[in-house]
Structure 1
Amino acid sequence: MKREGILFVVSAPSGAGKTSLCKEIIDIFQGLRHSVSYTTRPMRPGEKDGVDYHFVSAGAFEKMVAEGAFAEWAEVHGNRYGTALATLEEARAAGQDVLLDIDCQGAAQLKKNYRQGVFVFILPPDFQELRRRLVGRNTDSAEVIERRIANARGEIREAAWYDYIVVNDDFEQALAELKSIVLAEGCRSGRVLDGLKDVFEFGA
């Protein structure tokens, strides 16, 4: 069956568990590829260039913006993040499903141009648990954590326009729900019929 690739866009406030969930779902679905974003933020311990992100200078990022190389980009917590337009277009044409874990600003940009995309928002159970997770990561200063908490309040208000919301209270349950979303979207009648139009004469 030949069909266009599905674009899955996952957003969440920092500390909600988005990255961990996305890594697990990529491992579960062999046909689902993670889109590696570009960023100007420093590399964290354990991260690899080209795997976690494409780490670039502010100048290189600005050049890509000027050239129209991004399908979306945004500044988050003082750093810039962007998704290469070529990555999405090549995947869609090849029938490759792609998963993006990006912020609300970038997701809103993609919503305008990729209306067939699937948009999922990951919520923490509450702000107390969100703070506990951010502190437990031990990667940010107290000032940065407070800024992330403040930003989260605004980000969470954006959840209403997403197609799906998953509350990450219990990780395994949240993973099961995200898995169900990916499975269901792959079985949507429009996508299946489009992929089989050369095999069956639908509507004849």
Structure 2
Amino acid sequence: MSNSNPINQGIEVYRKYGSAWLESKADENHTREILEILMSHISEITGTPYILDLCCGYGRLTLPLLEKLLNVVGVDLSPTLIQEAESRRVKLNLGNNMSFQVGDMRRIPFPSSQFDFGFCVWASLNFLSNLEDQTRAFTEIYRVLKPGGKFLIEIPFHEDKNPVVQEIEVEGIKYLYFPFTRSYLENILPKISFQFYSVEEIKIANRKRIVVYMKK
């Protein structure tokens, strides 16, 4: 896998250090509160919703949702993380062999109008360092949602007036990070055909976060 692509530079961290590095950054309170938020939305859907965990990592949220017998699939660009997620799924005897798939948020590997609900949390969106990739990802999210389907994005809070790409270095591996702000997102979203969207600033696990809600 070439490292010339900024996103590939990011997943190189996982290839080199495995899922343990990502898991070491996890916050149990954040995980619990995010799951509560997700379940509040999922519970509003009638029937058996089909759910997408976009940029699922090692299954931090996918696996607890599978434990609730929900029909959820996790997608991540990192084969290393998907392999770990699948290993945990098998060990827990959850879901099926299609529960985790390698895929890119800019080219989500599903036909159009598939999902009732989806989400992308933590800082996954921040790996998209240019407007073209960001717009492509939002367009793909719109494409794979069913009419009336909803999607939630949760990312770190930033308030830079003019956000610029930052270069982050982890254990000698450099990757690009884009500090999304509320105003920046509010400029992007009208360009996508969502029926409804909102950008909110809320506290999750005592940290200020940005949460985006979108409806197709």
- More strand by percentage: 2
Structure with the higher fraction of residues in helix conformation: 1
TM over 0.5: no
For the pair shown, the structure with the greater C-alpha radius of gyration is 1
**TM-score bracket, shorter-length normalisation:** 0.3 to 0.5
Q: What TM-score, normalized by structure 1, do the two folds share?
A: 0.35
